[in-house]
Structure 1
Amino acid sequence: MKAKVHVFLKPGVLDVQGKAVESALHGLGWADVADVRVGKTIEFDLKAADPAEAEAEVKAMCEKLLANTVIESYRVEVA
Structure 2
Amino acid sequence: MKYDAEVKISLKNGMLNPEAATIQRALALLDYNVENTATVDMIKFTIEGSDQELVKKEVDEMCQRLLCNPVIHDYTIKISPKEE
With the length of structure 2 as denominator, give the TM-score of the two structures.
0.89
Which structure 2 residues correspond to residues 51-62 of structure 1 after superposition, within 5 A? Answer: 51-62=52-63
> What does residue range 1-79 of structure 1 map to in structure 2 within 5 Å?
1-31=3-33, 33-79=34-80
Sequence identity (%): 29
Q: Where in structure 2 are there 5+ consecutive unaligned residues?
A: none
Q: Please tell me the root mean square deviation across aligned C-alpha atoms, in Å.
A: 0.7
Number of residues paired by the alignment?
78
Question: Unaligned stretches of 5+ in structure 1?
Answer: none
- AA paired with 1:49? S
Q: Deviations over 1:37-63 (max 9, x none)?
A: 112000000001211111110000000
Normalised by the size of structure 1, how large is the TM-score? 0.94
**Higher strand proportion (structure 1 or 2):** 2
CA distance in structure 1 between the partners assigned to 2:29 and 2:51 by the alignment: 48
Structure 1 runs, 4 residues or longer, greater than 2 Å off: none
